[in-house]
Amino acid sequence: MPKAGGKRRRRRATGSYAVVLDPLGHALNLEAGVSVGTIFGIYRAEDMDMDVAPSSYVLRAGSELIAAGYALYGASTQLVLSCGHGVDGFTLNPDSGVFMLTLPQLQMPPVGRFYSVNLGHRRQWSRAVADHIDAMSSTKSLRYIGTFIADVHRTLLCGGAFFYPPRTKRPNGKLRLLYEVAPIAFLMEQAGGACTSGVERLLDIVPTSGNVCVPVAFGSSIDITDYQRALSLRAE
């Protein structure tokens, strides 16, 4: 304890990391037997001051992540992980309890065959978003599970695009930048894909709180570039 009238000694942790975690997204889908998952992201937090609010170490752009991944719980338990040098996929062997490397150095195709979006919200989209997604339906097949991590996993493996665009009731979407969007955007780019809010790269956006939401488009690089170009042309 400091002496009376003396300064309190600040507690610091060296070589520390700050972790953001979405423990079980869309848990209600468990009752329907739909795959769910856990999303995480890791930031470096050198000389972490233990007396400072932890949020100050994670309210940062996703481009500062040093690792990110997710665990998918379904027919098998899978772990998809990047430490900044590509993306690897692992599958849990239930007999040994060991995660086996089953998808080394995942790379997304520049153009995919599928797109994923909730068409029930179409009437609330902007004209530019609706027209672009309508046009996609002539060249791609719709695949939509309704669990964010399951749709993302298929998009990462097969390419294409996943959308949660802005709509009138949710102009900023419903996906949280800190816990869901930034880690997945990190994985997508590490696998050769791309990500955008429709206006800017998702990994460049700095959250102001843990509950900030952003509209998203993840997927194959050409598919996402085409989407952003379509929106920017309508905005001119």
CA-CA distance, 88 to 127, in Å (whole number)?
A: 38
Q: Kindly indicate the confidence band of residue 2, based on its pLDDT and cuts at 50, 70 and 90.
A: very low
What percent of the chain has pLDDT above 70?
88
pLDDT tens for 213-229 read 999 999 999 999 999 99
Domains in the chain: ranges and CATH: 12-103 (3.30.540.10), 114-235 (3.40.190.80)
CA-based angle 130:161:212, to the nearest 5? Answer: 80
Q: pTM to 2 decimals?
A: 0.90
pLDDT tens for 61-110 read 999 999 999 999 988 999 999 999 999 999 999 999 999 999 999 999 99
Per residue, what are the HEC states of 51-75? CCCHHHHCCCCHHHEEEEEEEEECC
Report the relative pairing of strands 141-142 and 114-116 from DSSP bridges.
Answer: parallel
Please report which helix (H) or strand (E) contains residue 135, including its range.
Answer: helix 127-136
CA-to-CA separations, 66 to 3, 41, 185, in angstroms, rounded: 40, 8, 13
